[in-house]
Amino acid sequence: MGLRPVLLNRRMAGIASTSFALVLGVATVGLLPAATTTASPVAAAVTADEVCADPTGTLARAKGGSAVEHDPNQLTLAQVHQREAEFADILQERAKRVGQRTLTTQAAAASVTIPVVVHVIRRDTTRAGGNIPDSMIQSQINVLNQSFSGATGGAATAFAFQLQSINRVTNSSWYPIRQGSTAERQMKTQLRQGNKSTLNIYLGALSNNLLGWATFPQNSLNVMDGVVVLSESLPGGTATNYNQGDTGTHEVGHWLNLYHTFQGGCSGSGDQVGDTPAEASPASGCPTGRDTCSSSGLDPITNFMDYSYDGCMYQFTAGQATRMINAWNAYRAA
């Protein structure tokens, strides 16, 4: 399925053109071949200076075709069962308190406004050092609002996003941001603001060819809670094929309790959402007509929770919208 016109209009709105070239280093995301790869195991080895985060609480997005050193893309079946059992227990307890009808009914569009705090992690005050302009951040908030409202062609969800503040931090020991590292924990411990309903987004150069990662919601607030996104993946950035803001949309989907569309492959309950067809592995590029599972439906390559190019993604499903609002009420609502 091609790029819908409304999506193209959304991408271009309010985005300043730039000819800035992405400065590449050993830990920054480079331009990689458009080839599909399966995710690395959750328990992949880490380098000596890294402390692996709880794999049941973190998901990441990598560029299609990349081989990452530490990429908790998919949870094991046991980890999914554990999370889903906990989620079901919380929903059952909430049903006893407020009534079952409130748990399975899609909330009105944009009925929840999420405050957003953005932390720009930079090596220095240059663009090459991670100091992206405010205009790119505002464009990212616009992309979130359009994606989650259904304006790009998918199902409307309950969520809208309001930028609360931008916090710029110059700290070379946090740049690039290394997933699962002691430095990441120190950074978030010092910077995170708000309660469980506050979305903290950390922007910068990232390690291990990752575009971003996010935490799942939990019963109690964890200092690691939030979303990390490659700064040059924001609208107007320099990450070719991944610079229209959909890494942010993808990671916020995880923060609201969505799995990847390819979670679990072709077997079992997959991503736990009934209206996203099963998918054996992450998509790369925009492979129209891709069908990797024998069950009905083509691969959901246009879904925000796949690994397709940004230009290919435009939708959440109604089932995903319901799962997100149920998770919000279970974990993040005040």
* Euclidean distance between CA atoms 295 and 192, whole angstroms: 43
> DSSP 3-state assignment of 121?
strand
68 vs 152, residue with greater confidence: 152
* Unique residue bearing structure tokens 């709105």: 13
pLDDT of residue 65: 53
- Look at residue 5 and tell me whether its pLDDT is greater than 60: no
Distances (CA, A) of 100 to 65, 91, 93, 204, 326: 44, 9, 10, 42, 11
Sign, Cα dihedral of 259, 226, 134, 150: positive
pLDDT tens for 32-76 read 222 333 333 222 222 223 333 343 455 567 666 554 333 354 678
* Euclidean distance between CA atoms 54 and 65, whole angstroms: 25
Report residue 106's pLDDT band, with 50, 70 and 90 as the boundaries. Answer: low
Conformational region of residue 264, where left means phi above 0, alpha means psi within -120 to 50, and beta covers everything else: left
Cβ count within 10 A of residue 191: 18
* Euclidean distance between CA atoms 293 and 262, whole angstroms: 10
- Look at residue 14 and tell me whether its pLDDT is greater than 60: no
pLDDT of residue 194: 97
User: Among 230, 281, 304, 303, which Cα is nearest to 35's?
Assistant: 281
pTM of the model: 0.82
pLDDT of residue 223: 95
Question: For 75-94, b where at least 16 C-beta lie within 10 A, e where not — what string?
Answer: beeebbeebeeebeebbeeb
Helices and strands per DSSP (H, E), number in the chain: 6, 6
pLDDT of residue 292: 97
pLDDT of residue 269: 84
Residue 108, token pair as written in the block? 């009105």
Q: Choosing from 50, 184, 232, 251, which is the catalytic residue? A: 251
pLDDT tens for 180-204 read 999 999 999 999 999 999 999 999 9
- Look at residue 104 and tell me whether its pLDDT is greater than 60: no
pLDDT tens for 220-233 read 999 999 999 999 99
Told to judge if 251 belongs to the known catalytic residues of this protein, a careful annotator would answer yes
Of 37-46, 86-95, 97-106, 138-147, where does the model show the most confidence?
A: 138-147
Report residue 99's pLDDT band, with 50, 70 and 90 as the boundaries. Answer: low
